[in-house]
Amino acid sequence: MADYDLIVLGSGPGGYVAAIRAAQLGLKTAIVERENLGGICLNWGCIPTKALLRSAEILHYMQHAKDYGLAAENIRADLDAVVKRSRGVAKQLNQGVTHLMKKNKISVHMGTGVLTGPTSITVSSDKGSENLNAKHVIVATGARARDLPFAPADGKRIWTYRHAMVPGEMPTKLLVIGSGAIGVEFASFYKDMGAEVTIVEMLDRLVPVEDADVSAFLEKALKKQGMTILTGAGVQALSSGANGVSAEIKDRDGKIHKMDFSHAIVAIGIAPNSENLGLEGLGVAMTKGHINTDGLCRTNVPGLWAIGDITAPPWLAHKASHEGVIAAEAIAAELGNKDVHPHPMDAKNIPGCTYCHPQIASVGLTEEKAKAAGHKVRVGNFPFIGNGKAIALGEAEGFVKTVFDADSGELLGAHMVGAEVTEMIQGYTIGKTAELVEGDFIHSVFPHPTISESMHEAVLAAYGRAIHI
Amino acid sequence: MAIELKMPALSPTMEEGTLAKWLVKEGDSVTSGDLLAEIETDKATMEFEAVDEGVVSKILVAEGTEGVKVGSVIALIGSDASDVASGANAPAAAPTPAATPAPAPTPVPIATPAPAPIAPATSVASGARIKASPLAKRIAATRGVDLASLSGSGPNGRIIKADVEAAGSATAAVPLAPAATAAPIAASAAPVTAASAIPDFGIPHEDIKLSNMRKTIAKRLTQSMVEAPHIYLSVDVQLDALLKLRGELNTGLADRGVKLSVNDMLIKALALALEAVPQCNVSFGGDVLRQYHRSDISVAVSIPGGLITPIITDAASKSLSKISTEMAELAERAKAGKLQPHEYQGGTASISNMGMMGIKHFTAVINPPQAMILAVGAGEKRPYVVDDALAVATVMTVTGSFDHRAIDGADGAQLIKIFKQLVEKPMGLVA
């Protein structure tokens, strides 16, 4: 007799959402968490960084008060207070998840869980250990920052995102290694807070998963803010001293530069938390430490499911949450619920958002990838300078780009950079999920005055009929 | 305004089905996602979900009716209860399927609003009644796929791009099954095979109605024997090494709850042999020979009332334990009648094993449009010459049936030879 219908291992945005959805469907559900309910996302990731970036943004506006006809004097940033606010936001949400678990009658087991079979888990904490078993188990243990092999983060001078979120001191001269979402967000934060920032990216452009036009725009914008951008460059050595770090950086021409910084942030990607969970002993199929799953999040071991960063990319919180819902519904269906109809997710419909300054948001294929996949494309591009609201806000830098399949009118991808774009991308995401074609977007009425009118114009532009350019 | 509820195509090859059971009655309100009826297709019984909402105003095809053509109207759904009354006066009920030839699923043209300026909405057949995404409609119109013939896999049964593309590829495959296209109406309206009536000699008997599965088996096997000249190549295969390896592997796999069967290992051996002799991994298509780049093995599974062939896709690149767990799961669902169409339709070659029934040797009928099937007999201890001396060995006899239009005898023999080598020196199966 199983203790539970479902045990979820890990309570990040994948795990806790899966648990709630399962509870809604009447499953007797437990969740196991070793550290904080809500996982990295809302304790150490997405949410607290947004709180930091908000402070930086307001500081930026205050410094530019004059542009808006206002005067502000003695503007100072109090790093400790900024960090304190960020931690307060994280704490509030952590308590929110605690409340949601209680409300949905989900049994919370704090401790480190190890699978002793496909559907049994031993949870150990300093209070002792307990054995749990269930009809199904979802693994949602997420991932962590990947270290540089030759210079592991020490939290003093060499930081991961986690150290960078609760800095003991303000960096004066910061090296950011890696220009994915995490790298450029911290680069933006510390730049706005007053640090001198250098970004080193191994590939030939910033934010390499984004469309090349977005990368080019971002590089220009960050350079204009005063950042040093080194693309096609690699950090070959990094050593931490009492007063800072020294780095050996090989530039795109192969020349080695020795440079000193006060701090370095390593943001070169993630490593899955798949070790010491008992997965190997169960014969769970994995690719480079990430668990292989089917469209409904099943692993190759019956009864064992996996969602989120522990599975295939994209490694994003909202992808994990959506997989949590799919897995919970598929499990309910297996346990006899006939009213749920889970649908596999299409990775091409998962949006991505980066909260650097300017913001980036995108969904679907880049122009390059669309062409490589054999599509004949129609591309539309609309700059914010043609949008009234953006000018009124003083945020006229940015653009929206659309990529359509020329034959079918399918929106293959959309790419945006500039103010508020992270709040707008969902419009295209809904359109892609509903499989709308160009005519549907064209016939939709976009409210005036909003920056979202640029989204309409970018569709019109792809068909040669944009109004404001 | 009543909505016509049409017989759905629950699989790409379905032409007609049995309306096994109504799950609603006249006057019932239905909303999208409600189960309306159970439809028996050629292979399985499937549930038919509502995509529209309203009140069932008239049931036009009684439950238990066989041979209901895909696309024919089976019930009317009104927008509210008042339609129940008017439903009684509904225009001529749908034709009784058995009596009249299949009505072509004529789309009812609906006046469409002025076409969109850029891409005129290509008149989507009876668009108001079919839930399909704009993109699915567009692609269907371009490729000439009739949306009414599809069932949707999107939310609330909506037809999405993937459904149209799947139908598109099924259509492309049609030329490989000439009989199916040559006379679809005749084939489905008349008894499935040209078997003449059974004379009555006064022997006490009863006549049992054929299930749709039985009809499909009869139709396809007849088609195979009539159209595909079969050649049969048999060989004896020594099993001792494979049995020993299986024992060792199973000791190691016991903790994972995996137990390899001999058949699991033979599936892999056949797939590897097909990769080595791609000339045998083909379909005969009249004007073309289709050469497959992947070995998907259909495995004959006996189920109550017939037989079904769930598929191990890409078996050559799967581990034995993966094949074993997949096979166990597929066989279990096959026996429960719960396989999805894509899990048993397709495959590039088949394997049929009657060893567990003690059959020493048999020949199997090719499963078209495939071009080969391997019939596996029982492994038994036999006197066997090993190193020029008479010894006792565990030996089985396997027989490949090949479509001689597509596969030459020498290529078939090469396939059987490599299969034998893989079984007798089985480390290749785990490498």
| Mean pLDDT, each 10-residue run in order, chain A (469 residues) | 91 97 98 94 91 96 95 93 96 95 97 96 94 97 94 94 94 97 97 97 97 98 97 96 94 95 97 95 94 96 97 96 98 94 93 97 97 96 97 96 96 97 98 96 96 98 95
Quick one: pLDDT at residue B191? Answer: 43
**Cross-chain CB nearest to A409 (options B119, B257, B321):** B119
Strand partners, B253: none
Please compute the mean of the pLDDT values over residues B226-249 and round it to a whole number: 93
B168 shares contact with chain A (CB less than 8 Å): no
A448 included as an active-site residue: yes
Collect all residues of chain A within an 8 Å Cβ-Cβ radius of residue B161.
Answer: 410, 435
Query: What is the C-alpha separation between A211 and A365, in angstroms, rounded?
Result: 8
Strand pairing partners for A206?
none
Question: What is the tens place of the pLDDT at every residue in B326-339?
Answer: 999 999 888 887 88
The continuous run of DSSP H or E covering A163 comes out as helix A161-165
Of B155, B256, B325, the CB nearest to A343: B155
Confidence (pLDDT) at B92: 41
* Phi, psi dihedrals of residue A440, rounded to the nearest 5°: -65, -40
- H-run or E-run covering A350: none
AA identity, residue A51: A
Q: Which residues of A318-331 are buried (b: 16+ CB within 10 A; e: fewer)?
A: bbbbbbbbbbbbbb
| Residues whose CB falls within 8 Å of the CB of residue B297, separated by 6 or more in sequence, listed in order | B267, B270, B271, B311, B312, B315, B347, B348, B349, B350, B351
By the 8 A CB rule, do B419 and B270 touch? yes
Q: What is the pTM of this model?
A: 0.60
Chain B: residue whose CA lies nearest to A404: B135
**Is the Cβ–Cβ distance between A34 and A9 less than 8 Å?**
no
Average pLDDT over residues B201-223: 84
Closest CA to A469 of A397, A371, A382, A376: A382
Q: Is B104 helix (H, G, I), strand (E, B) or coil?
A: coil
Q: What pLDDT is stored for residue B7 in this prediction? A: 83
Choose the closest CB to B256 out of A282, A408, A439: A282
The answer to whether residue B241 neighbours chain A at the CB level (below 8 Å) is no
* pLDDT confidence tier of residue B110, bands split at 50, 70 and 90: very low
**Residue A280 CB contacts under 8 Å (≥ 6 apart), including other chains:** none
Q: What pLDDT was estimated at residue B114? A: 40
Using CA atoms, how far apart are residues A457 and A407, in angstroms rounded to an integer?
Answer: 20
Best of A282, A435, A443 to disrupt the B interface (most B CBs within 10 Å) is: A435
A149 — alpha (psi -120 to 50), left (phi > 0) or beta?
A: alpha
Distance from CA of A135 to the nearest CA of B (A): 16
Q: Tell me if A283 and B121 make a contact (CB, 8 A cut-off).
A: no
DSSP reduced 3-state for A87: helix
Tens digit of each residue's pLDDT (9 = 90 or more) over B355-390: 888 899 999 999 999 999 999 999 999 999 988 999
Contact in structure between A205 and A231 (CB atoms under 8 Å):
yes
Q: What's the pLDDT score for residue A434?
A: 95
Closest residue in chain A to residue B253, using alpha carbons only: A283
Residues of B in contact with A343 (CB under 8 A): 153-155
Q: Does the pLDDT value for residue B125 go beyond 70?
A: no
CB contact under 8 A, B153 and A283: no
What's the confidence (pLDDT) of residue B106?
A: 41
Position B178 scores a pLDDT of 35
Q: Which residue of B has its CA nearest to A117?
A: B256
Within a 13 Å sphere around the CA of A407, how many CA atoms are in the beta-carbon half? 10
The Cα–Cα gap between A234 and A249 comes to 6
Residue B174 in this model has a pLDDT that exceeds 80: no
Buried b or exposed e, range A343-376, using 16+ CB within 10 angstroms: eebeeebbbbbbbbbbbbbbbbbbbebbeeeebe
Quote the radius of gyration of chain A (alpha carbons, Å). Answer: 23
For CATH 3.30.559.10, list the domain ranges present in chain B. 230-429
Enter the tokens of residue B195: 């078997």
Is the pLDDT at B99 greater than 50? The verdict is no
pLDDT at residue B168 in the model: 66
Query: Which pLDDT value is given to residue B91?
Result: 41
According to the model, what pLDDT value does residue B13 have?
Answer: 66
* Helix count and strand count (H, E) for chain B: 12, 19
Using CA atoms of A389, A392, A397, A398 in order, give the dihedral in degrees to the nearest 10.
-10
| CA separation for the pair B424, B431 (Å, rounded) | 15
Rg (CA), chain B: 25
Q: How confident is the model at residue B156 (pLDDT cuts 50, 70, 90)?
A: confident
Q: Which CATH number is associated with domain B3-99? A: 2.40.50.100
**A312, A346 in Cβ contact below 8 A?**
no
| CA–CA distances in Å: residue B59 to residues B19, B94, B105 | 11, 10, 19
Partner-chain residue, chosen from B134, B258, B321, that has the shortest CB–CB distance to A440: B134
Query: Does residue B415 contact residue B372 with C-beta atoms inside 8 Å?
Result: yes
B121 to chain A, any CB pair closer than 8 A? The answer is yes
pLDDT at B199 over 90: no
Residue B265 pLDDT > 70, yes or no?
A: yes
B43-79 confidence digits (pLDDT tens): 677 778 777 778 888 888 888 888 888 888 888 887 6
The size of chain B, in residues, is 431
Place of tokens 């159209």: B227
- Asked if A432 and A383 touch (Cβ cutoff 8 Å), the reply is no
The CATH number given to B230-429 is 3.30.559.10
B229 with B403: CB under 8 angstroms? Answer: yes
**How much is the pLDDT for B382?**
93
The answer to whether the CB atoms of B133 and A434 lie below 8 A apart is yes
- Categorize the per-residue pLDDT at B90 as very low, low, confident or very high, splitting at 50, 70 and 90: very low
CB burial readout B178-196, b (16+ within 10 A) else e: bbbeeeeeebbbeebeeee
Q: What is the DSSP letter of B159?
A: B
User: For residue B1, what pLDDT band results from cuts at 50, 70 and 90?
Assistant: low
Helix axes B262-276, B409-424, angle to 10 degrees: 130
Question: Under the phi-then-psi rule, with left for phi > 0, alpha for psi from -120 to 50, and beta for the rest, what region is A9?
Answer: beta
Per-chain mean pLDDT for chain B? 80
Q: Dump strand ranges (E) for B316-370.
A: 349-353
Q: Is the pLDDT of residue B167 over 90?
A: no
Number of separate helices (H) and strands (E) present in chain A: 13, 24
Which residues of A are less than 8 Å from B124 in CB distance? none
Residues A281, B255: C-beta atoms closer than 8 Å: yes
Backbone angles phi, psi at A208, to 5 degrees: -65, -15
